Structure 1
Amino acid sequence: MSDRPGAAVTGRSVVVERPGTHRLVTGAVPAPGPGEVRVRVAAAGICMSDREVYDGHRDPAYVRYPVTPGHEWSGTVEAAGPGVAPELVGRRTVAEGFRACGTCARCRTGETSLCTGGYEETGFTVPGAFADHVVVPARLLHLLDDDADLRAAALLEPAAVVSAAVRAGRPEPGERIAVVGAGTLGLLAVQLLAATSPAELTVIDPRAERGSTARKFGATDAGTPEEAKETPGRYDLVVETAGAPTSAAAACQLARRGGRVVLTGMFAPGATGIDPAVLTLGQLAVHGVFGAPSAAWDFAVRAFTSGVLNPGPLVTHAFPLERFGEAVALVGGGDPGTGKVLLLP
């Protein structure tokens, strides 16, 4: 199916030409190629990775300038390219960011976030969703209900990452679980972990107001990192989401002997401070998560559709594309009142 009659002939996009420099560009609406769809973007979240792209702090291997950022998004399929089922047009959707090859050994075992076919990701190496439209391979779509809240659905990308962490952690009913960090990832993790009926679900974050929010999302307790030092070895499972210089080591200290630790934070080289003796003597199972494979996306969408996962309350700010500079400055700015920041094309 080609572009529908009456579709807009121009669209806008935020282009980061190089670190620290962006402009709002108006041009022809992109046409989907074979196997692709064009999605009208409803909402796009800004995360620290986008801030790193804007500031020039992202590893050069994982960004290609000039680029339109935006890897957390939701929208409605507006046009289908050759070879794509026309019934997709009009469906609400999200989509995986990694453009996995689908044919390498890792992809064939379902580990699409470990694709060895070369790194390509929406919003980093190919145009993303800080725009009126985004074009993606139809095979990456995860369809939503017709009445899905698209503002909340824009957070399904970080929810998929958290889903990968929860699946890796293998929580069981009645366990003691800790979540280190109460940002977007941490609070989404709380929702998913609360659904596993833990005996305890403790959130550790230096910001007291985040602890209060975590309790509303299902945590049974909250404390500061200093308070957590008083209970080493307490937890069966620790999910680290903060990415702070000391949070990985702290997570390992919190786990009981034989416990499990899942790290999702992005750390500077050499910044984790993990003592190998703690891992060996404690017989800890430590699992790292970067991105999300297709199965984790499916898990997150099912949790969202069923009502187990409700990301909407995490959104605190929303801006039009024209105010991208103001919006990105909020992310990582240190204001404890800033949660998820959205762009609304």
Structure 2
Amino acid sequence: MISGPRPAPGPGEARIAVHAAGICASDRELYEGTRQRDYVRYPVTPGHEWSGTVDAVGEGVDPALTGRKTVGEGFRSCLRCERCREGATSLCLSGYEETGFTQPGAFADSLVLPARLLHPLPDGADLHAAALLEPAAVAAAAVLAGRARPGDRVAVVGAGTLGLLAVQLLAASTPGALLAVDPRTHHAEKALGMGASAACSPDEAVGERGGYDVVLETAGAPSTANDACLLARRGGRVVLVGDFGSGADGVDPAHLVCAQLTVRAVFGAPPAAWSYAVRAFTGGLFDPGALITHEFPLDHFGEALATVRDQQGAGKVLLLP
């Protein structure tokens, strides 16, 4: 939404000429003022899903980065605290800082961020598809946390952007079965085209309870955390990654204990998940661009946001500076 004089990169920083930026539900929350206060700082330029090209670097940054296609991590972690030193940068003890939420984002012509957060791409990379590498990194974090092995029975609850990206990444690991669960028929059908071996509605999934080694929850709907736990086999693994709002149903602790489930949660993506997603993308193991359904010029932000909010058939919507 912002155009004008390009900011100059400072020491250790790089400036990106933004190619494309994706809109997701959290951007809508940001615009509508419903995002949790701890995870936003107004005024702010949104845009945390992006791709672009490095067009300038600051002091101390390798000049060879100039001209490189790139994506970049969103969390601005301190790298000094105990959690950061463990590699869990999304749990930084210095407080939450993220591009597009507390720091200027990519709904602009240019973006400046620490060069250490960049993940350069090959010259031939598709920058439209690469704009989805931020949600792909979150999906990769969930996949890594689930530790699905070849032959495992895996279920993904929710076939929105995160769920469909997770399906593609999981399909590359040759699961014994890969089920996508979503009440929206067109989303379920899309999951089948991206590697799921079966798809069904939540009501139909009742008959699948207790049948899956690994279950990834990506929807953030009121009942989906509990649904995911019920799908897992005894001793199975559940990963919660959906953005839950207030009023979500709780998970029965008696079931967790008696079934001896391992439950993990994912918020954002650490560097290891970004590296995994970027390697999978550049290696041709998945195609995030298949999720893109709409593109708008940057100055048509209102129309783009309305498409995300109102069109049931909309997939990923991109803004193009």
Q: Distance in 2 between matches of 1:131 and 1:35?
A: 21
Assess if the C-alpha contact under 8 Å between 2:3 and 2:108 holds in 1.
Answer: no
Return the offset for 1:266. 1.2
State the partner residue of 1:344. Answer: 320
One-letter amino acid matched to 1:343: L
Q: Distance in 1 between matches of 2:21 and 2:238?
A: 30
Return the offset for 1:278. 1.1
Match of 2:63 among 63, 83, 86: 86
| 1:251 and 2:228 aligned | yes
State the partner residue of 1:140. Answer: 117
Q: Distance in 2 between matches of 1:109 and 1:316?
A: 38
State the partner residue of 1:209. Answer: 186
Q: Distance in 2 between matches of 1:27 and 1:316?
A: 28
Decide which structure has greater helix share.
Answer: 2
Q: Distance in 1 between matches of 2:156 and 2:302?
A: 32
- In the alignment of these two chains, the number of paired residues is 321
State the partner residue of 2:8. Answer: 31
Return the offset for 1:26. 3.9
Q: Distance in 2 between matches of 1:107 and 1:78?
A: 29
**How does 1:229-248 map onto structure 2 within 5 Å?**
229-248=206-225
One-letter amino acid matched to 2:133: L
Q: Distance in 2 between matches of 1:310 and 1:27?
A: 33
Unaligned runs of 5+ in 2: none
Aligned-CA RMSD value = 0.9
One-letter amino acid matched to 2:107: F
Q: Distance in 2 between matches of 1:311 and 1:139?
A: 24
Moved over 2 A (4+): none
Q: Distance in 1 between matches of 2:309 and 2:263?
A: 27
One-letter amino acid matched to 2:225: A
User: The residue matched to 1:230 in structure 2 has which SS?
Assistant: helix
Q: Distance in 2 between matches of 1:269 and 1:330?
A: 25
State the partner residue of 1:192. Answer: 169
Q: Distance in 1 between matches of 2:156 and 2:110?
A: 36
Unaligned runs of 5+ in 1: 1-13, 15-24
Match of 1:45 among 2, 17, 22: 22
Assess if the C-alpha contact under 8 Å between 2:3 and 2:109 holds in 1.
Answer: no
One-letter amino acid matched to 1:301: V
Q: Distance in 1 between matches of 2:249 and 2:124?
A: 43
Return the offset for 1:329. 1.7
One-letter amino acid matched to 1:248: A
Return the offset for 1:270. 4.4
Match of 2:304 among 303, 309, 327: 327
